[in-house]
Chain A
Amino acid sequence: MDHTKINISKLNLYYGRQQILKDINAGIPEKKITVILGPSGCGKTSLLRCMNRLTDLHPQARLTGNILINGKDILNTTDDITSIRKMMGLLAQRPYPLPMNIYNNIAYGLRISGRMNKRMLNKRVEHYLRQVSLWDEVKDRLRDPAVALSIGQQQRLCLARGLAVDPQIILADEPTSALDPLSSQAIEEKFNELKENYSIVIVTHILRQARRLADHVIFMYMGEVIEQGPADAFFENPKLEKTKLYLRGMFY
């Protein structure tokens, strides 16, 4: 069995009285694409937000259980939360570029993770923009506002921005749901390249996208993990009746 990057055990999430996640036990393998699959409202986004503790922002969120990243618990720790979050890049349902120009969107992360001279900074910015195949499209207008880019370009910019803080993990919440088919394809291709160096977690409710991308699948329903495992086994040979029904498109 491969090395497990994120190990979630006995995780419960409550928003006030409502229990959103119920006794989640799951593993995210290293340097693979893990797809969290399930009908909408089943708690996929919530599970993802537990992993970088964005749940901290919710006034009534309460978490119990453990999430181990590289063997260290990130829920019950006194470690600085910002350094934990730096290990993970986040790609949201729609791009949220920072209110600055294209260049500074990438440089922002580089600057907060350490001082760097101008030449080095330029090189790194170019490197990350190339990594998401955006460089050729924007190299002549690096000083333009990031919001002037198309949504698809903005999403790739956000991916590059996340990579620039040098994370080990990429968390993506339905990252293509606001994009046109071509831009979606571009993002999917990037994930396939990036999995060589990063552990990637993608939330989706699109079955076909899951089939295209997944090495590992976590299938959720009503706040619980129903079935999980390597993608081939999951899609070809699901063990549980509920999974079979879902894969046949019997419920959403």
Chain B
Amino acid sequence: MKKFLKAEEIFFRVLMFLSTTLIGTVLFLIVFSVIKNGLPYLSWEMISEVPSGGYYFGKEGGILNAIVGTVYLSLGSTLLAFFVGLPVALMMNVHLVRYQRFVNGIRLILDLLWGIPSIVYGAFGFTLMVYLGIRASLLAGIITVTIFIIPIMIRAMDEALKTAPRGLLEAALSLGSTRSEISYRVFFKQCIPGMVTAILLSFGRAAGDVASVLFTAGFTDAIPTSINQPAATLPLAIFFQLSSPISEVRHRAYAAAVVLFGIILVISLLTRIISGKYKKNRINF
């Protein structure tokens, strides 16, 4: 029996080691190939200028339009999704504790929405836009992205709030707090690290999937100066360049991907630094 247990232990260790190595290698290869192909072509010009006439044929100019468009779209939609999603997630975990079935129903629906490809949201946004007679613009793009990241935002915050102990809710109720006081002054504080994860997940999906707003946000070589103007996005710029027959342009696609990595990295680090100082107050179990 002891021998068997030992064999089992070894088996799972090896399995764990193999899968960790596999995932690590794949991730490393992706990052490595993007950086190796892109970094040499990344120039100051590329990230500081908008495309001039011949940029997509290998001439001068840059992708500042796409960088700014991506940042506007992802930040705008992440913020919007956060402020719309937070009350919903708090409601599910503070106000509706008695109605577990209903809340589980909402969870199921959100999980389904999460699984729908972002391009479907793009198409839906486009239909809506045509129906309302709005032109492709940054605002329409932000709204589309918000709609498809909101299920992620709410479910990630919901998972964080679910870890708050029942006893904390009971203690706060016993002090005579209202549900809103508990939501914002107790539960939100307790779950700040989870909230940060929710924001990062949503921002990552937004930044990576903004391409789906081609129809709603349009694409332009100019930097938008108001929310009524169209905006470009990095994933689309990458896509256009990758499909070019000119090798120089294809390399610039990788350079643009490096920029996208960079943006997500910076946002990750910033949010973690900001949230770090709130962690110390939470109860641990």
Q: Give me the interface of A with B, judged by CB distance under 8 Å.
A: 52, 54, 56-59, 82-83, 85-86, 88-90, 92, 94, 96-101, 108-109, 112-113, 145-148, 158, 161-162, 165, 171
Contact = CB atoms under 8 A, between A and B. Distances in A.
B127 interface: no
B35 interface: no
B186 A88 contact: no
A57 B176 contact: no
A162 B173 CA distance: 11
Contacts of A165: 175-176
Interface stretch (B10-18, B248-256, B276-284): B276-284
A69 to B, nearest CB: 14
A59 B284 contact: no
Contacts of B171: 90, 92, 96, 98, 158
Given A57-B169, A59-B100, A108-B185, A83 B281 contact: no
B181 interface: yes
The 10 closest A-B pairs by CB, nearest first: A86-B176, A90-B174, A99-B190, A96-B171, A96-B167, A99-B281, A145-B281, A99-B189, A99-B282, A82-B176
A36 B178 CA distance: 29
Contact of B284 (A83, A147, A158): A147
A222 B74 CA distance: 58
B173 to A, nearest CB: 6
A113 B176 contact: yes
Nearest to B173: A85
Contact of A98 (B98, B172, B178): B172
Contacts of A171: 174
Given A57-B98, A58-B98, A99-B186, A145 B280 contact: yes
Given A56-B98, A86-B175, A148-B280, 14 more contacts: A54-B173, A58-B98, A59-B98, A59-B101, A82-B177, A85-B176, A90-B171, A94-B167, A96-B283, A97-B283, A98-B172, A99-B189, A99-B281, A99-B282
Interface string B157-185: 00000000111111111111110010001
A99 to B, nearest CB: 4
Interface in B180-215: 181, 185-186, 189-190
Contacts of A109: 175-176
13 contacts: A56-B98, A57-B173, A83-B176, A85-B173, A96-B170, A98-B186, A98-B189, A99-B281, A108-B177, A112-B181, A147-B280, A147-B284, A158-B171
B170 A92 contact: yes
B131 interface: no
B97 interface: yes
A142 to B, nearest CB: 13
B174 A54 contact: yes
Contacts of A145: 280-281
Contacts, number: 85
B4 interface: no
A148 B284 CA distance: 11
A83 B178 CA distance: 10
A101 B99 CA distance: 32
A86 B181 CA distance: 14
Interface in B226-285: 280-284
A165 B173 CA distance: 12
A96 B168 contact: yes
Contact of A92 (B167, B178, B283): B167
Contact of A88 (B97, B100, B174): B174
A112 B176 CA distance: 8
A188 to B, nearest CB: 21
Contacts of B97: 57
A120 B172 CA distance: 23
B284 A100 contact: no
A101 B277 CA distance: 13
B147 to A, nearest CB: 31
A100 B185 CA distance: 9
A75 to B, nearest CB: 16
Contacts of B101: 59
B170 A146 contact: no
A82 to B, nearest CB: 5
B177 to A, nearest CB: 6
Nearest to A52: B174
A180 to B, nearest CB: 19
Nearest to A93: B167
A54 B100 CA distance: 16
B281 A146 contact: yes
A146 B186 CA distance: 13
Nearest to A92: B167
Nearest to A148: B280
Nearest to A81: B173
Contacts of B172: 98
A146 B178 CA distance: 22
Contacts of A98: 168, 171-172, 186, 189
